[in-house]
Structure 1
Amino acid sequence: MDKANPFQATWSWKPFIACHLFALALLLLWLWEPTRAAMDLFDFSLFSLLNEPLATHSAWRLTWATASTRPFDLLVGVILLLLLIRGDWIFKASQARAATFGFLCAAVVLVVVRILYAKIAHKLGWQHASISRLSEGAVHLGGYFPGWQGTVFTIKDASARSFPGDHASVLLIWALFLTLFARTALQWVVIWSLALLFMLPRLVAGAHWGQDDYIGGVQMALLALAWSCFTPFAAKGSAALVRWTQPLFNLLAKIPLLNRLSVIAA
């Protein structure tokens, strides 16, 4: 393995197969009627616990309404990216650029998995409406902030088809990807605390059921991880991107302050 590239350009069959088996097990549990009924009951209880306080706390409503908008998603993306490219945290400074491109490869695989999964889910009738549409007495955040609707601050609190949870899958692939290379318990705690925290807005607002995330989102993230990091794809893809973008990074390295970033300086 190249010291500047954290990936191995080989097939890692055991984790590759394990990811697929775990994803399959989740799907079978979700399709089996007794466990599906238990999941539905759990999700309604979870939604009630998270959503009901919005009815009586205006500051709480504003907080979660803001967290359920696209600009907040963009802010989350920036936070996750900064943690990814930060040198000598999860990855060595010399590996930051290759690691970032490796994650980009995983994200591309996730997009493909998401498209295929959505088509299969629609074809087989696995789709369902958001829990906020099916739960009596649900607090709809959009109703409290009508002026936000139709703007860049449109609140994501309902959907006709909420399964699988694509928002959660992005957070989960980020968390799983970094977990592969994390070395301390503190790193794991930070990674998963952030992933779970940023998954909450859609659950509080009711745009997604819990199972959209812990079944659909986890499945998609596992498959994307398997086909990117446990195959030669991430290693070869990141190495190629590092080569192709070297002239660009040579220019960026001449810019003061910017050249202090590990992903640039590497």
Structure 2
Amino acid sequence: MSTKRWLGVLGCTVFGMLLFASWLIPGQMGFWYTIDANVFFFFNHLLGQSKAFLYLVAFTNLRPFDAVAFLFMLGIFYHYYRQQDAKGRRWMLCIGLTMLVTAVIAKQFDMFLGFERPSATKFFTLQGVPVLRVSELTGWPAKDWSSTSFPGDHGMMLLIFTFYMLRYFGRKAFAASLLVVVVFSLPRIMSGAHWLTDVVVGAGSICSIVLGWMLLTPASDRVIAFFDRYLPRKKQKN
């Protein structure tokens, strides 16, 4: 592996560690907290000012809506899948399985960190600060409360997909996938079920480290090759 690649891996690892440290070292109450609080109250005030915004946030935080993000990712993946021949389609299925392996590895980092950070709505409620909750205002079972919001699992999975698309399919695939990350990470932040830093710092730092080692080293290619070798193949018709 080239020196440039190793420097990229080191850079991603150091960046992820520094990003996480910038949030953790000030006791989670430094400049990131100011940004988090400002973002939360900006959207929380809007919930009381606009019925249209309130119900948009409520709808996009219903559990079934999570499947929409998956369908968009599947649509992007399928766009490239249908352009492949039989060998290329098998290769893409192996990439999909490798993404799942990467997600499992990233989840181990999450479990190792073991943070139990309450969501913005719960945090400020416990502090005695009155906040608006989407579920109470609409009567819908929208996600707007969490006891353990850090890091954002949803954002972590979306980032893994996005950077795999960049690595294997280029910038256009990356741009489309990044749009999905933004659109489908925002609802949880707007409802207060997640802080902005749950995605930017939590998911961002973990993905920076894990994806650096998976995508800038031969690791992902080797896992793909492993699946390609051992997955059952269709029998050729005589």
| Length-normalised TM-score, structure 2 | 0.82
**Of 118, 122, 126, which aligns to 1:133?**
122
The 8 Å contact of residues 171 and 195 in structure 1, kept in 2 or not, is answered as yes
Which residue of structure 2 lines up, in the alignment, with residue 179 of structure 1? Answer: 166
Which residue of structure 2 lines up, in the alignment, with residue 152 of structure 1? Answer: none
- Give 2:119's aligned amino acid: S
**Of 173, 179, 184, which aligns to 1:193?**
179
Aligned with 2:226: secondary structure? helix
- Give 1:218's aligned amino acid: G
Which stretches in structure 2 are left out of the alignment for 5+ residues?
none
For residues 77-118 of structure 1, the C-alpha deviation after alignment (integer angstroms, 9 at most, x for no partner) is 1111220232289xx624454234224313322223223323
Shift of 1:72: 0.9
Q: How is 1:66-215 mapped onto 2 (pairs within 5 angstroms)?
A: 66-87=59-80, 93-94=84-85, 95-122=88-115, 127-135=116-124, 136-146=129-139, 148-149=140-141, 155-181=142-168, 183-184=170-171, 187-215=173-201
Percent identity of the aligned residues?
22
CA distance in 2, matches of 1:229, 1:96: 20
- Give 2:214's aligned amino acid: S
CA distance in 2, matches of 1:70, 1:35: 29
Shift of 1:50: 2.0
**Alignment of 1:61 onto 2:54:** yes
Which residue of structure 2 lines up, in the alignment, with residue 47 of structure 1? Answer: 40
Q: How many residues align?
A: 227
For residues 96-149 of structure 1, the C-alpha deviation after alignment (integer angstroms, 9 at most, x for no partner) is 542342243133222232233233234xxxx32101123333221121343x44
CA distance in 2, matches of 1:80, 1:177: 12
Give the superposed CA RMSD: 2.8
CA distance in 2, matches of 1:14, 1:36: 32
The 8 Å contact of residues 91 and 224 in structure 2, kept in 1 or not, is answered as yes
Q: How is 1:221-232 mapped onto 2 (pairs within 5 angstroms)?
A: 221-232=207-218
The 8 Å contact of residues 57 and 190 in structure 2, kept in 1 or not, is answered as yes
Which stretches in structure 1 are left out of the alignment for 5+ residues?
1-7, 150-154, 252-266
CA distance in 2, matches of 1:45, 1:246: 54
The 8 Å contact of residues 76 and 176 in structure 2, kept in 1 or not, is answered as no
Shift of 1:181: 4.1
